[in-house]
Structure 1
Amino acid sequence: MDYAIIIIPILLALFISVLIPSLNKGTRTRDALFIDEKALHTQGLFWLALLTPIFLGTTLAAHASYEYDFKLGPEEYDFFIKNNKLSLIIIGAMIPATAVVSSIHRTIQAAAQITESEKKILPTLTILISDSILITSNL
């Protein structure tokens, strides 16, 4: 039963991460976790990196605070921080995980933009080079 605390949030995040891109991009579910040059919010891997720490950290925090009486005060705050260190660290891992996915996505977008620019510029360069060769050979 203790493994369910870890497995269920991860499976839920995985399910949502596959579902969102499949609805947005109209792709098959097996391609949902691959990154392409489309918008970041349609990327399944981004949603997986975002939702897994949130679901897992929240589930662990709820499990650690199951018998905790929520009150506001310095002793209760210290107790909360002491009992929920792991869940807070896991939730905090969301920021670097999404930053890595965002960086990979930015690289893929830049590569796609360079390829598109080369396709547009190459015919123009070919014409300019052939014209300059003709002009030089006529001199």
Structure 2
Amino acid sequence: MNLTINHCIVLFNILFVVVYMSYLFKIKAFKMNAESLTHQPLFKAALTIPIISFFLLGFVAWNGHDFQIDTEGFNNFLNISKLPLAVLSLSIPLGVVVNNIHRTIQTDKQIKEAEKKNKVDFFYAHRKNTIEALQHLESLDIPLIKKNTKLEFENCYSTYRKCYPYASTTNSNFDASKDYIQN
């Protein structure tokens, strides 16, 4: 009878791990995001599976042994608990692996956000410098029939947009418009 209960507990432990892993695949837990580590189902699984397996396998190992608080009892506990303790000790390296993967995902997100911010900053710096250069151009007097006409940039922002039509905060294409420059 005792052997049958132990077999059932071990089978239940295996079934628990298989069902939990199936659940993780179903909710796509292996595709982690940049949310905090405690919100990652994979991190919770890295802790939950070894802890529950420790108690289930421990119940099998401890069944039939008396609770003894002395040197002999402690040595006996360590001797009969090798497998449950080994399974429990897996929670630390599994948690560390999940943490490192999560940190890589967060770093990647930070790099992408920094690149996006740099594109925006570069666009505004380019626009500012170009407009300042246009504003500091000296006006030209063009002699026309019976009068001189002054040529100057009245709206530098509009000139910038016509000169660099492809430039934007999301696109770092600062190629000058050949049509505008040639005309």
- The amino acid across from 1:85 in the alignment is K
Equivalent residue for 2:101? 104
Match of 1:49 among 46, 50, 64: 46
**The residue matched to 1:31 in structure 2 has which SS?**
coil
Equivalent residue for 1:94? 91
- The amino acid across from 2:110 in the alignment is Q
Structure 2 CA distance for aligned equivalents of residues 74 and 5 of structure 1: 33
The 8 Å contact of residues 36 and 105 in structure 1, kept in 2 or not, is answered as: yes
- The amino acid across from 1:114 in the alignment is I
Q: Unmatched 5+ residue regions in structure 1?
A: 19-28
Match of 1:72 among 60, 69, 76: 69
Offset, 1:127: 3.4
Offset, 1:113: 1.1
Offset, 1:33: 3.9
Structure 2 CA distance for aligned equivalents of residues 135 and 107 of structure 1: 42
Offset, 1:36: 0.5
Structure with the greater alpha carbon radius of gyration: 2
Equivalent residue for 2:82? 85
1:69-128 C-alpha deviation (Å, 9 max, x unpaired): 112111111111001011111101111110110011011011111111211220211333
Structure 2 CA distance for aligned equivalents of residues 58 and 12 of structure 1: 17
Tell me the TM-score normalized by structure 2: 0.59
The 8 Å contact of residues 34 and 44 in structure 1, kept in 2 or not, is answered as: no
Q: Which of the pair has the greater relative contact order for Cα pairs under 8 Å at 6+ separation?
A: 1
The 8 Å contact of residues 61 and 87 in structure 1, kept in 2 or not, is answered as: yes
**The residue matched to 1:103 in structure 2 has which SS?**
helix
More helix, by proportion? 1
Q: Which runs of 4+ in 1 moved over 4 A?
A: 11-15, 129-136
Offset, 1:30: 2.7
Match of 1:61 among 58, 61, 66: 58
**The residue matched to 2:64 in structure 1 has which SS?**
coil
Offset, 1:6: 3.1
Across the two proteins, how many residue pairs are aligned to each other? 129
